[in-house]
Amino acid sequence: MATNLVIVESPAKAKTIKQYLGKSYTVMASFGHVRDLPKSKMSIDIEHNFEPNYITIRGKGDLLAKLKKAAKEAKKVYLATDPDREGEAISWHLAKVLGIDEREKCRITFNEITKTAVKTAITEPRAIDLDLVDAQQARRVLDRIVGYSISPILWKKVRKGLSAGRVQSVACKLICDREKEIENFQAEEYWLIDALLQDAKSGMDFTAEFYGKKGKKIKLTSKQEADEILKQVEGAAFTVLDVKAGEKKRNPAPPFITSTLQQEASRKLGFTVKRTMMAAQNLYEGVTVPGHGTVGLITYMRTDSLRISKEAVMEARSYIKSQYGDAYLPASARVYKTNSSAQDAHEAIRPTYLDLTPAELKSCLTADMYKLYKLIWERFVACQMESAVYNTVNADIGAGSYVFKANGRQMKFKGFMALYVEGSDEAEEEQNAKLPPLTIGETVKKEKLVSSQHFTQPPPRYTEATLIKTLEEKGIGRPSTYAPTITTITARGYVTREKKQFLPTELGKVVTDIMALHFNDIVDVAFTANMEKELDSIEEGSVDWVNIIREFYGPFSEHLGKAEAELKKVKVADEVSDVVCEKCGRLMVYKMGRFGKFLACPGFPECRNAKPIVKETGTLCPKCGGKVLEKKSQRGKKYFGCEHNPSCDFMTWDTPVKKETCPKCGSLLLQKTGRAKKIVCYNEKCDFERKL
C-alpha cells in the first residue's frame, strides 16, 4: 500500500517525526542540501541575471535515486526541512530534483518537533515560499561573487589558500581595528582615595570614596593632587551630610535567541559557537527519553524573535507558582519586545516540555547537551519570574569642604535570581555591600585614609561572546552565519585565540588592509548592515533579488579591476619558531594548514621537512615514562598524550601538574578541567585529591 513520504534533513529528525506520524508515513532524510554551487568555479552567470548553476552534491547520487523512487511510489510528498531560509531552499531544491511543482502544497514547517506540532503541520501544507528561497539564493549568490572574485587576487598578490568573504572580512576588520585601538591607547593616570570609617552607634566599619567638592566631581590625576586632598582632610571631622534610602529592581533577561544563546554558552560554559549550535541542533532534532520515546527537547534554535507562545507562558507560570510560590510570580505574564530588524517567523528558544527538567534528563543527554539544555530551561523559566529587589542606601560624608560617597546594596528579594542570573562580559558589580544605619548630622570615626594609583585601561580584545554581540548590534550577518564566520577567520589564519580572546595575525592585518584599501564597501560596517536589510526585503517580497545583486555588482566590478591592476605583490613574513630543522639546520617557521598550525622548513622546496607543533608539559607518562605532550584533537580540542603514541595509549583531557607527583603513590597529578577546582591523582586506585 502506498504511503505518504515526508523528507527532512537529518536521520535524528526523521526518527523523531516517524514516531509521531505512524505507519501511513515514510520519513526519509536528505542529509542537508542535495544541490549546491560547485566548489571548482564561481558558477554564477553574470551576463544572464546572475543565474546560479547548481549541481548535485558529490556523493548524493545514490541518496537522490532512493528519494526519487520513494517519491514516485508515494501518495503525497511532504517537504519538512527546517523552518528558515536555508530550510526553504533545501525544500525548493528537493522539489526541483523530485519533479514536484513548487506551487503544489507540499511544504510543512514546525517550530518544535513535538507530536502536536508535527500532527498540526501535516494538516496545513503550503506551497514553497519563493520569496524565502530568493532571499537565500541572493545571499548565496552575493557571497559567491565576493568570495570567488576577491580570493584569486589574494592568492596571486599575497598567498595561496586565502579567502575573502562578505561577513568574514567585516568580522576580521573589527578584530584588527580593536587591536589598533589597543596598540595606540595612551594610558592615563588617576588616583582614588578611600576613607575607612566606623559608625559609633553600631560599631560597624564601612568605606566611602572621595568624590569632590560642593557637588562637583574632582578627578585626581597625580600623586601630588591626591596627597594635597589627604593633607586637607587628615584632621577634619567626617560628618554625614545626606542619606538616601531606596529600592532597586533587577529584571530577568529575555528568553534566548540564537545570538544570546551563543554568547551565554561562551561566557558560562566556555563553548565555542560551533559547539553550542551542534548541541542545540541535537536537542531540537530529538533525544530518546525513557517513557516518552524520541522527543525534540527545544524549539528551533535559529531565531532572532523573543516571542513565546501563550501555552508555553502559561506552563511556565504554573511551574513557578507550584515550585516557588505566589511571591515569585508577576501579576501578569512578561512580554518581550523583538528587535525591529528581527525575523519574527519563530518563537524564542525554549524547552518544548517544561516538565522534562534538566535533572530528569541528565542521564539521557551528553555532557554538552545537558549543560546547554539546563541553560535554556533555566533562562526560560526565569524570564517569567518576578524581579529581584535590592535595598539601596547612598550617603554623602563631608570632610572639611570635600565630599566622600558611600553606597550600600542588600538583596531584599531574590526573585528570578533564585534560579538564574545572566552572565556578563564585564566584571560583576558588588552584589551586597552593607552600610550601617547612618543619620544626617552624625559624626563618624575616621580609621584610615588610603590613596591608590590607577591607570585607564584599553578596550578589551574580542571574545566569541563579545564579537557576536557586536556583529548583532551592528546588523552584520544573521544568527546562522556567526559560527561559520568565526570558524573561517580562525582556519584561514587571520586571527588566533589566546585565553579566549581574538588576536589578529600579521596575515590577518595585511589582508584587512588590502580589503579596506581596494574593497572598502565590503568591510564597511554601515554598508554591510544596509545590505543585510536589503536581503531581508527580498524575503518580504518587496524587491527583486536580481536587482539587488545588479546594483551591488556594478561598483564592485570596477573596484575589482582597479585592485587587479594596482595591487602589488605583498610578502607576509612567517612567524619563526625556536625549533631547528633536523635536516638542514634552519629555524623552522609556523605555517597554517587544513588542521591548523604546523612547523615547516623555510628552505622549501630544497628542504621539505614539516612536522606538527609539539608542546612538552614537563611531566612524564605514568604508563611508560615517556614525555607527556600537549596535543589537539581533529576538532581542535586540547588533550594530553604520550610521545610514544600509538605504542603507548596514555591520554587525558585534564592538565598534568608540573614538578609534583602524588604524595600518596608517586603517580602523575592532574588538574581537573571545567569548574572542578581540584588536583587529583591519575592512578584510579589512589584516592588522593586536593582543592586547587
pLDDT in tens, 438-471: 999 999 999 999 999 999 999 999 999 999 999 9
Output the pLDDT for position 614: 77
Output the pLDDT for position 384: 98
Residue 328 annotated in active site: no
Phi, psi of 173 (to 5 degrees): -65, -40
Coarse DSSP helix, strand, coil percentages of the chain, rounded to the nearest 5 percent: 35, 25, 40
Output the pLDDT for position 636: 63
The Cβ of residue 624 has, within 10 Å, a number of other Cβ atoms equal to 13
Output the pLDDT for position 678: 87
Query: Helix 130-157 vs helix 525-539: angle between axes, to the nearest 10 degrees?
Result: 150
pTM: 0.83
* Residues of the chain falling short of pLDDT 70: 1-2, 339-345, 425-432, 593-596, 634-636, 673-676
Output the pLDDT for position 1: 52
pLDDT in tens, 320-334: 999 999 999 999 999
How remote is the C-alpha of 428 from its chain's centroid? 20
Tell me which of 20, 25, 300, 462 is the catalytic residue.
300
- In angstroms, the CA 17 to CA 297 distance is 13
Question: Which three cell numbers, joined as nine digits, stand for 524?
Answer: 564597511
pLDDT in tens, 111-165: 999 999 999 999 999 999 999 999 999 999 999 999 999 999 999 999 888 889 9
Contact 584, 600 (CB under 8 A): no
Output the pLDDT for position 393: 95
Output the pLDDT for position 644: 85
The Cβ of residue 215 has, within 10 Å, a number of other Cβ atoms equal to 8
Contact 107, 79 (CB under 8 A): yes
